[in-house]
Amino acid sequence: MLAVSTDFCTYTLEASTAVIRMDDGKANALSNEMIEGLISALARAEKEATAAVLTGRPDRFCAGFDLKVMMSGPDNAVALLRRGADLYMKLYGLPIPLVIACTGHALAGGSLVLLTADRRYGASGPYKIGLNEVAIGLPVPVLAMELARDRLVGTELVRATLLAQIYAPDEAAKIGYLDEVVAADEVLGRAKEEAARLGALSRSAFEASKVRLRGKTIAHITATLDDDMKTLMRG
């Protein structure tokens, strides 16, 4: 077992599974430091693992983008959003299986992380999951809209995006944020078991199939990102 730790995330190689844990001691916000740590961990996982597990700290999976940075000026906000988009696309197109152990709340950009994974296990409990952008006065970015369109149940798309609906874990599993809800003390173990199973798949076949499944969405998000950032800042 090889572990590498920073102030924001920990990378551990367990057999052939990379376990990446977000923990900033608070809400697990996507700060510049958290994003860079995750991108570095994912790059390492690609080189030495057959699958990856992404998890959070107890009761907090990910709170989305760091509001301190987002409120510190439009240039800082755009820079953080762009780097966040890099992270999402890296997660969504990861050439090895990605399994998430959602340990608690996953709001805004945190719920988008759930939408990027191949399998998602959520902890049962009084947790909130969803895109709350419109409720706090922000438009839903194209990136978020397209990930939601890809992964959420179509009949729930309007409520989940336009109407800023927030879901409990069991509801989140019904509409596509999660695949299964388990006891909080089991969520990481189940994710590791699934990662080991998926890691036995042919890597070349898995990677090629994921490109076919998600390549168009990734290309569309990438192509529209600059114009969408301008629109968001004007808003």
Any idea what the Cα angle at residue 222 is, between residues 221 and 223, rounded to 5°?
Answer: 95
| Secondary structure of 130-147 in HEC code, one letter for each residue | ECCCHHHCCCCCHHHHHH
Identify the pLDDT of residue 138.
85
What is the three-class DSSP state of 104?
strand
Tokens of 29: 């916000």
Higher pLDDT, 229 or 93: 93
Identify the pLDDT of residue 51.
98
Identify the pLDDT of residue 3.
61
Identify the pLDDT of residue 234.
66
pLDDT exceeds cutoff 60 at 2? no
Whole-prediction pTM value?
0.95
Higher pLDDT, 92 or 70: 92
Strands 9-14 and 17-22: antiparallel
Start-end of H helices in 67-108: 67-70, 74-92
Mean pLDDT score, 183-192: 98
Mean pLDDT score, 74-90: 92
Structural domain that includes position 105: 2-234
Least confident of 126-140, 152-166, 193-207: 126-140
| Confidence band for 77, pLDDT divided at 50, 70 and 90 | confident
At position 69, the amino acid (one-letter code) is: V
Identify the CATH number of the domain in which residue 165 sits.
Answer: 3.90.226.10
Identify the pLDDT of residue 70.
83
| Confidence band for 203, pLDDT divided at 50, 70 and 90 | very high
pLDDT exceeds cutoff 60 at 76? yes
The number of folded domains in the chain is 1
Mean pLDDT score, 14-20: 97
Residue 128 dihedral angles phi and psi, to the nearest 5°: -115, 130
113 within 8 A of 54, measured Cβ to Cβ? yes
Largest CA distance in the chain: 48
